[in-house]
Structure formats: structure tokens, C-alpha cells
Amino acid sequence: MKINTTKSKLLLSVLATAMLGSTAVSADDHKPNDIAIAIHGGAGTITRANLTAEQEQAYKDKLQEALQAGYAVLDDGGDSTSAVIAAIQIMEASPLFNSGVGAVYTWDGEHELDASLMEGKTGNAGAVAGVKTVKSPIALTREVMEKSVHVMLSGEGAESFAQKQGLELVDNSYFNTDHRYQQLLRAKEKIKASEQPEQQAWEYLDLDYKYGTVGAVAVDKEGNISAGTSTGGMTAKRYGRIGDSPIIGAGTWADNDSCAVSATGHGEYFIRYHVAADICSRVKYQNKSVAEAGDEVIHGVLQEAGGAGGVIIIDADGNIAMPFNTEGMYRGYMKADGKAHIAIYREDD
């Protein structure tokens, strides 16, 4: 059985503190500088045949920039939540990913953005769903977490809260990109041409039409872990559809005693199988490593149910796993040595 070092270290620390007669309990014997960060930019039908050399390089460069932004925060002694946000904001601002600029279009030709954030130290979380005018949805999740008494805000209410907190608001067209618009037109044609009822036809659209969410998980110098996820959801979504990305436990989860997870993929499955929290429960209650727990859920539970996608996982010791059951997932990590590891295709592992 794997010995969970974080938990045994915690136990020793609690015992030592109790023997000294102090009521202060410190769980922080994480070695300074053992910082680490992992990011994803979506999973799907990502193969060498589907990407030109230039596109591949553009993704790699942007993933590296996002990793470095998050890593710099950690290296300066910043907290894991700030690192997660810094990395995600680079990807939200890039048209390459399905979040912020470059978000997919809804059936009605708009963008409705979802995001969430969770801190492993406190169990606090913040989430927003269906926001149309908030420039950085991941920045708003922190405001919800720290400045409101709620966990999730949606639609216009979330936007007016964002305004009150002084966040930047933009016109919905700020998120427009031509390639996502063409994707919407193709998706609508396919749905209309399908003999199935509209919602079923949407369900079976090719993966390429749907994914590209971004996320990050990190551990800071204090040994605290956090996770965050930001997305435009799925192309041609309708009726106010909300996916897993803003749902704590489904698309995002963090708990210092187990792990932090950010997910990407077919949200309906991640919601029904509570994927992010399920992985961390296996780490916490079955003493599985992040790699074992991630494989069991992504290649077992999720795949058997017919769900496609992947996750990035980190624990307080800086162990990282990035399992996915699609052909590719934009992903990368950086540990204390500061070296960026970036991968796209399945065979990169």
C-alpha cells in the first residue's frame, strides 16, 4: 500500500505539537521550493494529422507562457490560488483555447462563460456560470470565493457582482474569433441535417466541435494546493446549458489532504460521475496515488460510461498525473527545477 506522506507528516506534526502542549497545529512541513504547477488547454481529437507544425508550435509556446506565469507566482512565494489564476489568465486571453477570447459560440451566436476555483487549504471555492461580459471569468471566481457569502453566481447577477468588485467588463463580441464562428456554422449544419432530435444530435457532434477548456493546479511553498478551470462550454449549446467546469467536485476540486484536479471533456459525464472529487476521494480514503486514482476514474469509470476527456491532478507533495481518454490533451507541468514539460498527443507520454 502506498504510504501517503502528506498525511503521515501531518500526523507526526500533530503528535509533536500535542506533546509540546501547544494548541497550534501546523500542517506545513512541505519543503520550501517544492513548488509545482500543471495546466491543460482542453482534450479532444487532437492528432498530428489535425495540427500543422505552426499550430503545434503556437500551442506549445502559449502553454509554456502560461506555465511560466503560474510558476513565477509560486517562485516569488505567492499562493497556489494566485498561481492557478495567473496561468489560466494567459490562456483566457489567447484565441487558441476555448475560454475567454476564442470561447465557443452558443446556438444563438454568443459566448457564455463558466469558471471555478477551489483552495485545498480552506476548502473554500468560487464559481461563475453563464457570464457574457466578464473579461476574466477566473478572476471573478476568486471574488466570489473571497468577497461573497456564496459559492456560485450566474448570469447577470454574477456580472453585476463583477462590476461591484471593479472587474473589467467587455462587450460579448470581445470573445469572438472567426474559427470558432465557422465551427458553430458547421455544428449547426450537422445538427440540422441529423435525423435525430436536436439535443441528441448535439450530444453526438464530433469532439472537435466541443472541447478546449483551460485549467491549472498548483502547490505552493507552504504546501497548499489549488485548482481552477475556465471555459466557453460546448459549441452550439442552448437553453442555458452549464457544463462541469463551474461545478465544484465535477470539473474542479482541491483538498490539501488528497489532491487538486481540473477537468476537461464532455461535461455532462463529468457532472454525473463527479469526476474531480471522485479522484481525490480515492486518494484520500483508499490511499491511492494521484496516478492510480486518475487512471481508475478516467480510463475506468468515465470511459465505461461513454464519457470523453481528461484531467490534471496534483498533490501536496508535488506529484502530478495528467490522464485522458481522448486522442490528445494540451498539457504541461513545471516542478521545482523550473523545467517546462509540454505535451499534446497521446504518444507524447
Q: Which residues bind ligand ASP (CB under 6 A)?
A: 42, 98, 211-213, 231, 233-234, 243-245, 264-265, 267
In whole angstroms, give the CA distance from residue 9 to residue 67: 29
**Of residues 73 and 91, the one with the C-beta less far from ligand ASP:** 91
In the sheet where 225-231 sits, what is the strand order?
A: 152-154, 125-131, 113-119, 225-231, 214-219, 36-44, 328-334, 340-345
Torsion of CA 131, 134, 138, 144, to 10 degrees: -70
Q: State yes or no: is 106 an active-site residue.
A: no
Shortest spacing between CB 308 and ligand ASP, in angstroms:
10
Q: Are 138 and 228 in contact (CB under 8 A)?
A: yes
Q: At what angle do helices 53-75 and 80-92 cross, to 10 degrees?
A: 150
Query: Considering only CA atoms, which of 290, 279, 171 is closest in space to residue 219?
Result: 290
Q: State how far the Cα of 284 lies from the Cα of 193, in Å rounded to an integer.
A: 47
Indicate the residue among 244 and 278 with the shorter CB distance to ligand ASP: 244
3-class SS of residue 184: helix
CA 70, CA 176: separation in Å to the nearest integer? 26
Q: How far is the CB of 212 from ligand ASP (least distance, A)?
A: 5
Q: Which residue in 81, 133, 213, 235 is the catalytic one? A: 213
Shortest reach from residue 42's CB to ligand ASP, in Å? 5
C-alpha cell at 187: 455544428
> DSSP 3-state assignment of 146?
helix
Q: Which of 81, 124, 38, 88 is nearest to 230 (CA)?
A: 88
Least distance in angstroms from the C-beta of 22 to ligand ASP:
45
Neighbours of 272 (CB within 10 A): 13
**Contact criterion met (CB below 8 Å) for 91 and 61:** no
Q: Rounded to the nearest whole angstrom, what is the least distance from the CB of residue 179 to ligand ASP in the complex? A: 15
The C-alpha cell that represents 19 in the structure block: 506533546
| Beta carbons within 10 angstroms of residue 5's beta carbon | 12
For ligand ASP, the closer of residues 114 and 222 by Cβ is 114
In sign, the C-alpha dihedral spanning 51, 52, 53, 58 is: negative
The nearer residue to ligand ASP, 202 or 211, going by C-beta atoms, is: 211
CB 304 within 8 A of CB 268: no
Instruction: Write out the catalytic residue numbers.
Output: 213
